[in-house]
């Protein structure tokens, strides 16, 4: 193996070490299962709205601990959901600068395709923005990436070369093109959810609050 390949493998391993602790599974109903991201150390979880089929989903962590989750907010247009679990000091992911993404940049998607634990797939950014090449999703802002997002990747993180989340995996747009929701869109959604829940607030109040749509 060349020194370049060794360095590339080492960098990839370091990237995953930083990001994988924040990857969780989200179970909703008997058949519903997708991925999620620990966005806040105080129990804030982000996933896709289509992963959460009903109220009262559960979040399964890397050590197989399973906690019930409260749905704090749903954004159907952007296919986002914010969940809250009763936990603290969780390994929250670092948020990257999704507005600075450029075509050709290497990214990695994490998830649980077909139930495979901690799977990864690598590709490059094809384009970012709205109405990408007539792709599904209407006018919403998306990241198009040359990788395969199999069932189970939904709701998982798309990370940059520093292990920072720059998007949330959402769907395939063709045999070799995956789509993700940019991290700054997620942050805007979470700000609206926090405002409607009058955050900052004690976690117990957040847990008791009803879900809101934004």
Q: Residues near 52 by Cβ (< 8 Å), separated by ≥ 6?
A: 26, 28, 32, 71, 74, 81, 83
Buried b (16+ CB within 10 A) or exposed e, 149-187: bbebbbbbbbbbeebbbbbbbbbbbeeebbbbbbbbbbe
Catalytic residues: 50, 79, 154
Model pLDDT for residues 65-124, shown as the tens digit of each residue: 999 999 999 999 999 999 999 999 999 999 999 999 999 999 999 999 877 787 888 899
Q: What is the pLDDT of residue 201?
A: 40
Where does the pLDDT of residue 205 fall: very low under 50, low under 70, confident under 90, or very high at 90 and above? very low
Q: What is the pLDDT of residue 170?
A: 93
Please check whether the two domains, 3-92+198-206 and 98-185, share a CATH topology: yes
Is 3-92+198-206 in CATH node 2.40.10.10? yes
Running DSSP on this structure, what letter comes out for residue 190? H
Q: Map out the domains of the chain as residue ranges.
A: 3-92+198-206, 98-185
Model pLDDT for residues 14-47, shown as the tens digit of each residue: 778 889 999 999 998 766 689 999 999 999 999 9
Q: What own/partner pairs with CB < 8 Å and gap ≥ 24 does 51-56 have?
A: 51/26, 51/81, 51/154, 51/155, 52/26, 52/28, 52/81, 52/83, 53/28, 53/29, 54/28, 54/29, 55/211
User: Structure pTM?
Assistant: 0.86
Q: What is the CATH number of domain 98-185?
A: 2.40.10.10
């Amino acid at each position: 193996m060349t020194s370049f390949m060794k360095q590339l493998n080492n960098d990839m391993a370091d990237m995953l070490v930083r990001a994988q602790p924040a990857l969780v599974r989200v179970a909703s109903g008997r058949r519903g299962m997708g991925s999620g991201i620990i966005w806040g150390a105080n129990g804030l979880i982000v996933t896709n709205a289509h992963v959460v089929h009903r109220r009262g989903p559960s979040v399964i962590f890397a050590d197989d601990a399973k906690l019930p989750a409260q749905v704090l907010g749903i954004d159907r247009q952007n296919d986002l959901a914010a969940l809250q679990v009763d936990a603290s000091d969780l390994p929250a992911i670092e948020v990257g600068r999704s507005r600075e993404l450029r075509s050709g940049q290497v990214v990695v998607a994490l998830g649980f395709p077909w139930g495979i634990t901690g799977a990864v797939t690598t590709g490059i950014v094809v384009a970012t923005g709205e109405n990408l090449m007539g792709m599904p999703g209407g006018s919403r802002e998306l990241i198009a990436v040359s990788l395969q997002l199999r069932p189970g990747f939904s709701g998982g993180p798309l990370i940059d070369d520093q292990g920072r989340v720059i998007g949330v995996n959402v769907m395939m747009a063709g045999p070799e093109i995956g789509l993700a929701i940019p991290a700054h869109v997620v942050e805007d959604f979470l700000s609206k959810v926090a405002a409607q829940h009058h955050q900052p607030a004690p976690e117990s109040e957040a847990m008791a609050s009803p879900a809101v749509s934004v």
